Amino acid sequence: MNKNSLRTVFLMTLVAVLFMLVGQVLGGSTGLVIAFIFAMGMNFFSYWKSDKIVLRMYKAEPVDRSSHPKLYGMVEELAQKASLPMPALYIIPQQQPNAFATGRNPNNAAVAVTRGIMQALDEDELRGVIAHELAHIQNRDILTQTIVTTVVSALSMLAQFAYFIPMGGGDRDSNPLVALIVLITAPIAAMMLQAAISRTREYEADRVGAEISGKPQSLALALQRIEKAAEQLPMNGVSESAMRSTSHMFPVNPFSGGLFMSLFSTHPDTDDRVERLIHMQRTGEYLFE
């Protein structure tokens, strides 16, 4: 297990520990269990249906070998290199160059690319982006994000419960001031941990994607092009709330949002990602901190 994977496990453990501590402070053991069951139910549905929901959200259109032979052949070849089944392939009718992968497991996966990305990138750069998305599928990052989202959602519910039930679940030994501080800070801490986990998975997808495509520098150039274009070409017809909830799925955040988005960014700094990929191109090794 590499350092990045260990960091992911460590951060996920922190999220779980935070949830248990907050549950005891705000809702007692009963509140903790209720919140977790509700969150599990919601995110279990999301896990099974999220691919269809997000594809519909972006008006993605299914394509096959006959309609887009070059793109289909590229994805098929890279999937074989990654030892993955051929994912369902979609095109998003947007000019912003971007892409994402979704699906609950490698056998039920989909890759979607925008029309803009096929025009903005050369073949090697496009291969790099598709390989990055296949890496997310190979690493089962959708499952990782679902687990983390379940716990973060449960934390948010606990915070909401605290407004309507006695803090500490009626525990006489509970400290209302401590509970109030936890009520305010815990959801923020949970979202920051969630964003940090997402960033670690992006680094790992860069590394694995570069190995699949065989050209780390092309992926680096693609990330730079996508980031620059995302600042100039917004996603049309997609609500801001939808963009925020799905931004982690793209190789570069399609939503530009100032200070808030920088504090809770689901993506590492692009310059840093590029530097690591260029180093990998030169040495064959990907640098983790």
Catalytic residue IDs: 133
Classify each residue of 175-198 as buried b or exposed e, where b means 16 or more C-beta atoms within 10 Å of its C-beta: eeeebeebbeebbebbeebbbbbb
Percentages of the chain per state (helix, strand, coil), in multiples of 5: 70, 5, 25
Measured in residues, the chain has a length of 289
Task: Decide the pairing of beta strands 109-114 and 88-92.
Answer: parallel
The residues near 285 (Cβ < 8 Å, ≥ 6 apart) are: 279
Specify burial of residue 72 (Cβ count, 10 A radius: 0-12, 13-18, 19+): middle
Cα gap 34→39, rounded to integer Å: 9
Cα gap 200→267, rounded to integer Å: 8
